[in-house]
Amino acid sequence: MRASFLSSLAGGVLALAIGFAGDGNAQSPAPPDPWPSLAGDLFHDRPMQNGDSLIALEAPYRAEDAALVPMTLRFALPQGDRRQVKRVTLVIDQNPAPMAASFEIGPNSGLTSIATRLRVNDYTNVHEVAELSDGNLYVVEKYVKAAGGCSAPAGKNPNEANAHLGEMRLREIAATPNSPSTPALREAQLMIRHPNNSGLQMDQVSHLYIPARYIDSLKVFQGDDLVFAMEGGISISEDPNFRFNYKPNGAKIMRVVARDSGGKEFRSEWPIGGEM
């Protein structure tokens, strides 16, 4: 009887061990891919073509800081292609508000790249979608490993941030050679003081959530010509920062008009080629 009991016990333990091992090796079902639904909602189910030959998205595979993930959107049409890039949209699939930013490109701007910093809330695909003047959409995809960027605490004291709310600086960068047949592109970096609160961050003293308040509209002009206009959301990092190139049009002034979700408007202008 004792031998039979021990034999049964050993068999049960072995079966239990095998069961646990089986559970450990079992593949949990993959979460549903949100991109098809996002593409339908944001772009109204319009067809998209592979954009590898026209656009590029630069982003780190593994972010050092999920609240400050650098990303660069590039777009350039082949020589002789008479179409123009009208709009470029950045979608962070797993973020609480996936549409991170949409950039309208000025028709005479010559702009071919925009770099900024984003919050990334989870391991996610990021999509860059370009709309051309003929109505066609082109898409590229990049996978980024990051977590918690949208709820990460603000880096600055709230009182200090509010005291400098909306202050802007424009830094001029050396001209970029383009080609012998076209003038060199100039490059600039726009920096805006704003906490860009996501609504998911907790005040470290009160332990209450800080209300969302972020730059939701931005327009950059070279003289009277639009360089780019942006519609933004909570994914843009604290103190928004944009580095972009553009074709000089002879204007003497670069000016910026920004607005935040609290209804506050900010304006600044700087001489082109002068002290920024």
Q: What are the sequence ranges of the domains in the chain?
A: 35-271
Query: 88-107 pLDDT, tens per residue?
Result: 999 999 999 999 999 999 99
pLDDT band at 161 (very low <50, low <70, confident <90, very high): confident
Q: Give percent of the chain with pLDDT exceeding 70.
A: 85
Using the predicted structure, report yes or no on whether residue 20 has a pLDDT greater than 60: no
Q: What is the pLDDT of residue 182?
A: 53
Using the predicted structure, report yes or no on whether residue 8 has a pLDDT greater than 60: no
Q: What is the pLDDT of residue 87?
A: 98
Query: 251-262 pLDDT, tens per residue?
Result: 999 999 999 999
Q: What is the pLDDT of residue 19?
A: 45
pLDDT band at 76 (very low <50, low <70, confident <90, very high): very high
If you average pLDDT over residues 194-213, what whole number do you get? 93
Using the predicted structure, report yes or no on whether residue 162 has a pLDDT greater than 80: yes
Q: What is the pLDDT of residue 21?
A: 45
Using the predicted structure, report yes or no on whether residue 25 has a pLDDT greater than 70: no
What's the residue count for the chain?
A: 276
Using the predicted structure, report yes or no on whether residue 275 has a pLDDT greater than 80: no
Q: What is the mean pLDDT of the chain?
A: 88
CATH of domain 35-271: 2.60.40.2470
Using the predicted structure, report yes or no on whether residue 2 has a pLDDT greater than 90: no
pLDDT band at 274 (very low <50, low <70, confident <90, very high): low
If you average pLDDT over residues 167-195, what whole number do you get? 82
Q: Give percent of the chain with pLDDT exceeding 90.
A: 77
Using the predicted structure, report yes or no on whether residue 82 has a pLDDT greater than 70: yes
Using the predicted structure, report yes or no on whether residue 18 has a pLDDT greater than 90: no
